[in-house]
Amino acid sequence: MIIKKTAFSTLLLFFAAAAPQLQRGTQWQKEAQAAVAAMNANDAAARVAALSTLHEDFPENSRVLRNLAWVRQQAGDLPTAAALLRQYAAMGLTLPPDGPLYKQLAAAGLTSKIPQLSQNQLPVINGERVFTLPDPDLLIEDIAFDPASGRHLLTSVRKKKIVSCNDHGDCRDVITSSPKNQLDGMLAIHVDAKRKWLWATTAGMEMQEDLRPDRKGKSALLKFDLQTWKLIKRYEPNDGKEHALGDMTIASNGDAYVADGDSGDVYVVTHGRDELEPLVPAGVFVSPQTPALNDSETALYVPDYSEGIAVIDLASQRVQWVKAASPVAFEGIDGLYFSRGALIAVQNGTVPERIVKFRLQGADAVEGFSVIEANWPELGDPTHGTFTGGWFYFIANSGWNRVAEGGKTFTSGSAAEVWRVRLP
């Protein structure tokens, strides 16, 4: 959560060096550092070369593609810049009309040649509002559904609690921070209805209320009794690094898969060992987000906020990266969910922010995509969702766009909303 909300706040910050990784990550770090050096040196030829290499190796990253088009235009190569912008537009993406990048490209006569950029600004609305949260300052992150009570459970980062709401928006606090059970910002949440457990994650974050200095960078996976709300067990990394256990999913056998958007780790708590253990070697991911199991629960899809979507074969723990035959943007994914041979992604790191369906072809290839929601005011900054009764419920206007850089300032605004959509 921490990484993904601040990674793209400026053009250059996107290319900030990531933590050392294995293989693909090391390659990303090396090439991103070269891009930063070229940008800082204001060397036109070096910028084109560095971004061209980055785009060749990470073609599903829309921001690399967009920035390469920009530096090509600055270098005077308008035909190539236009071709790159067409690929960017084919991803369903656009440029903010009042932004400096758009203005420079428009001044060069490029944007008028690509009408799809404007078409991608049109609203796509397929869902319906279910309810609005009562407090605009909750900073809502994740949602789960409890079939026993028929109520939605949502995590509040800022207020450090979990709230329970019905479809009419009648909400009450069910888990709050106390001296006996201290919580920090509440992030992921998942209901294990079979075992009557409620899983959640918490992390010490700047944007939460009353952050104690010693809690910053501390994080834990929590297991509660779903009926009494009592804490059953707390799982914490003990490697001395800063952590933000932010997103997770639970298998039908009770195994919990947890992604750490700060340290880059992906953990598993198996039902047999009941301990927090690394699933893949440290450094494979930069900022992993919501894991998603396929129907057979043999593969785990893990979106990385910078690099794209990985698929882990759980038997061998082999990691592969999902590819696409046509232009598709895989970065900026916060929530990811598997549904009928497709991946449903909540992308709040793309322009526009959106909910999109990626159609899978095999385990590690995407044959195309369709936009489900985009470009409507109440969508705001969407985060996560969950499947319930044939609907996909998702959080709109979460409040993350009101968090200033670094998380120390949170401005007032409208409350988060829960929407739902039936997927085709």
Query: For the CA atoms of 198, 167, 382, 28, what is the dihedral angle to 10 degrees?
Result: 30
Give the separation between CA 84 and CA 408, rounded to whole angstroms: 37
pLDDT tens by residue, 49-73: 999 999 999 999 999 999 999 999 9
Tokens of 315: 């038997």
Place of tokens 């400096």: 100
Q: Which of 61, 86, 119 is the last residue in one of the domains? A: 119
Residue 157 near residue 205, CB atoms below 8 Å:
yes
Alpha carbon of 48 to those of 9, 31, 86, 286: distances in Å? Answer: 22, 12, 18, 24
Residues 201 and 312 in one domain: yes
Query: Both 81 and 169 in a single domain?
Result: no
H or E stretch at 146: strand 140-146
The per-residue pLDDT for 29 is 75
Cα 231 from Cα 248, distance rounded (Å): 18
Same domain? For 287 and 327 the reply is yes
Confidence of residue 14 (pLDDT cuts 50, 70, 90): very low
The CATH number that applies at residue 164 is 2.120.10.30
* Whether 90 and 172 share a structural domain: no
Q: Closest Cα to residue 162, out of 147, 151, 148, 172?
A: 172
Q: Is 73 helix (H, G, I), strand (E, B) or coil?
A: helix
Domain count for the chain, please give it: 2
| Beta-bridge partners for 155 | 162
**What range does the domain containing 262 cover?**
128-421
- The pLDDT-based confidence of 23 (bands split at 50, 70, 90) is low
Read off the pLDDT of residues 276-324 as tens digits, 9 standing for 90 and up: 999 988 778 889 999 999 999 999 999 999 899 999 999 999 999 999 9
State which H helix or E strand residue 161 sits in: strand 161-165
Give me the phi and psi of 103, to 5 degrees please.
-60, -40
Average pLDDT over residues 104-112: 94
Q: Distance between CA atoms of 325 and 181, rounded to whole angstroms?
A: 49
Q: What are phi and psi of 325, to 5 degrees?
A: -80, -25
pLDDT tens for 213-246 read 999 999 999 999 999 999 999 999 999 899 999 9
pLDDT value of residue 11:
33
User: Is the predicted pLDDT of residue 181 greater than 70, yes or no?
Assistant: yes
Kindly indicate the confidence band of residue 359, based on its pLDDT and cuts at 50, 70 and 90.
Answer: very high
> Is residue 17 scored above 80 in pLDDT?
no
**Domain check: are 157 and 10 in the same one?**
no
Same-domain pairing of 115 and 28? yes
Tokens, residue 400: 């993350």
CA gap 93, 64 in Å, rounded:
13
- Cα separation, 8 vs 292, in Å, equals 24
Q: How many CB atoms lie within 10 A of CB 409?
A: 11
Q: What is the mean pLDDT of the chain?
A: 92
Mean pLDDT (whole number) for 131-153? 97
CB 225 within 8 A of CB 195: no
d(CA 25, CA 19): 8
pLDDT surpasses 60 at 18: no
d(CA 356, CA 335): 11
State whether 136 and 159 are in the same domain: yes
Among 66, 88, 119, which residue terminates a domain?
Answer: 119
Residues 151, 94, single domain; the answer is no
Please indicate, yes or no, whether residues 82 and 158 belong to a single structural domain of this protein: no
Q: What letter represents residue 242's amino acid?
A: E
Strand, helix or coil for residue 277: strand
pLDDT surpasses 60 at 146: yes
- Specify the pLDDT at position 25: 73
Same domain, yes or no, for 64 and 169?
A: no
Would you mind telling me the total number of residues written for the chain in this entry? 424
Three-state DSSP class for residue 178: coil
Residue 407's pLDDT band, with cuts at 50, 70 and 90, is: confident
> Are 263 and 292 members of one domain?
yes
Question: Among 119, 147, 163, which residue terminates a domain?
Answer: 119
User: Is the predicted pLDDT of residue 19 greater than 50, yes or no?
Assistant: no
- The answer to whether residues 289 and 199 belong to one domain is yes
